[in-house]
Amino acid sequence: MTINTKLTYDVRDYGAVADGTTNDGPAIQTAIDEATANGGGRVVLAGGTFLAGTIKLKSNVTLEVSESATLLASPDINDYAADVHHNRYRNEKALDRCFIYAEDQHDFALVGRGMIDGNASAFPNEGSIYRPMMIRMLRCRNVHVENLRLYEAAAWTTAFLDSEYLWIHGLDIKNDKRYNGDGLDFDGSAHVFISDCYVRGTDDNFCLQSSSKDYPVHDVHVTNCEFSGVCAGIRIGLKSIGDIYNVSISNCTLNRVWREGIKLECTEGGSISDISISNIVMRDVTRPIFAVLNNRFELDDYGTSVELDRMPEIGTMARISISNLIATDDGEMEHVHRRFTDDVMGEPRFAGIRFDAADGHPIEDVTLDNVRYTFIGGVKLADIPPLDEYPRLVDKLAEPDVKSSENYWPDWSRTAFMDLRNVHGLELNRIRLRSIRPDERPAVLLDGCAMVADPDVTVDGKRMD
């Protein structure tokens, strides 16, 4: 057995110069490897900017970026290793490379009060094929990522894949320069503990996904976080080949999210169940809640799982509880909101709370309790097609002119507040809905729903029968 007599490793002792231009990656990796060989320890970056390509984390080693240090991603794609797994979205090979990587490692940490800078400006949305993710971990366990500033990733900030026992705490994530600006992404991971994080980005802030039946996602805990983003604040699913269950999310705020606040998508044959979301406050979120149960497969389009090679059977969604939610629009929500210059993400006619399930495959056992939703309103019937021409999303999948991957079509809602279809075991309790400006659409529509009790819904101060 090797006994480590040197618990701290200063990367300067291994040749790092921290001038922001010299590649310090080899020195950092040598320090990590030596600590591993000696049984573990703490590798410290302090006093300067350490530029590097791919760094591989190892078991029993803590990489610490101290308050006085910045770990800067190299602008040269040749400094990034190719053997770092891959992005699991079909046709997104541009995101295969990554900055910080770990595979089949255990009992290690990435911590500090310093900054990890993804150098997004060096990797434009167009041009080079590659935009490296900041952090990717594959089949790892007992991992701590704490207290760092993770800024300007060139693609996703994090991807935790098929891993377990993950503690994520106190992160400040700002990723709003490039497409695919995700914050915290977990695929096939279990026993996850997330707290006290701030996430701002151009895509999903927090995301749970399942690419395999071999790695179900379960026992996930999220609390005391703030999310601000373009696509979704809290996303569960889309990639849903396997199961996602036992998820508790509480005490979070969402600010300026231009698409969905809470998004549940079971679309690839798996199951999403036993989800509790409570004590959530939203400000200027276009669509507070969105849930869909259908199937999807688009071989040559973005968004389909690499692991999916056929149209799946429709899965299941059940036992969803969303309680103590306040969503409030300000005057800002009168406008159309875009990602960058031309990618429309949300506008008033797109807003509302929506559940939609395929015929014969209802979403089961849903409780919405103590929900207060103040919507900007102002949509006129002339702004949308006739309500009797409203297409069911799940029925459009068979039509050749509609992409099956497009869960956001149509880009308008037939109701001002709530459109719930094919939900069985539905309980609506203490729902308070208010519009700032008059809206000509129906306030609430329940289509193919089976209630467990008379709904307690108030619209603009009047109880709805």
- Is the pLDDT at 376 greater than 90, yes or no? yes
Helix/strand/coil percent split, the chain, to 5 = 10, 50, 40
What pLDDT sits at residue 27?
A: 98
pLDDT band at 390 (very low <50, low <70, confident <90, very high): low
Q: Are strands 133-138 and 41-45 parallel, antiparallel or unpaired?
A: unpaired
Position 334, amino acid: E
Q: Nearest-CA neighbor of 203 among 157, 254, 145, 148?
A: 157
Residue 14 lies in a domain: no
- DSSP H helices in 68-203: none
What pLDDT sits at residue 373?
A: 98
Residue 3 lies in a domain: no
- Is the pLDDT at 445 greater than 70, yes or no? yes
pLDDT digits (tens, 9 = 90+) for 104-136: 999 999 999 999 999 999 998 766 678 999 999
How high is the mean pLDDT of the chain?
92
Q: pTM (2 decimals)?
A: 0.94
- Is the pLDDT at 302 greater than 70, yes or no? no
Lowest-confidence pick of 188-202, 231-245, 306-320, 391-405: 391-405
Question: By the 8 A CB rule, do 57 and 104 touch?
Answer: no
Q: Residue 306: which domain range?
A: 45-463
Residues constituting the chain: 465
What pLDDT sits at residue 408?
A: 62
pLDDT band at 195 (very low <50, low <70, confident <90, very high): very high
- Is the pLDDT at 99 greater than 60, yes or no? yes
Q: Are strands 343-346 and 337-339 parallel, antiparallel or unpaired?
A: antiparallel
Residue 2 lies in a domain: no
Dihedral of alpha carbons 122, 125, 128, 129, sign: positive
Give the total number of structural domains in the chain.
Answer: 1
What pLDDT sits at residue 312?
A: 86
- Is the pLDDT at 403 greater than 50, yes or no? no
Element (H, E) at 227: strand 226-229
Report which of residues 169 and 345 the model is more confident about: 169
Longest distance between any two alpha carbons in the chain, whole Å: 76
Report which of residues 312 and 99 the model is more confident about: 99
pLDDT band at 389 (very low <50, low <70, confident <90, very high): low
Residue 189 lies in a domain: yes
Question: By the 8 A CB rule, do 287 and 314 touch?
Answer: no
Lowest-confidence pick of 19-23, 122-126, 205-209, 404-408: 404-408
d(CA 131, CA 245): 32
What pLDDT sits at residue 127?
A: 63
What pLDDT sits at residue 213?
A: 95
Report which of residues 436 and 300 the model is more confident about: 436
What pLDDT sits at residue 397?
A: 46
d(CA 374, CA 328): 5
Q: Nearest-CA neighbor of 259 among 343, 167, 147, 186?
A: 343
- Is the pLDDT at 263 greater than 50, yes or no? yes
Provide the terminal-to-terminal Cα distance of the chain, rounded to the nearest Å.
Answer: 73
pLDDT band at 396 (very low <50, low <70, confident <90, very high): very low
Share of the chain above pLDDT 90, in %: 80
Residue 231 lies in a domain: yes
Please give the backbone phi and psi of residue 142, each rounded to the nearest 5 degrees, phi first: 60, 70
Question: Where residue 141 sits, what CATH number does that domain have?
Answer: 2.160.20.10
pLDDT band at 314 (very low <50, low <70, confident <90, very high): very high
Share of the chain above pLDDT 70, in %: 92
Residue 281 lies in a domain: yes
Mean pLDDT of the 30-37 span: 97
Residue 273 lies in a domain: yes
Residue 19 lies in a domain: no
Angle at 229 between CA 244 and CA 93, to 5 degrees: 65
DSSP at 15: T
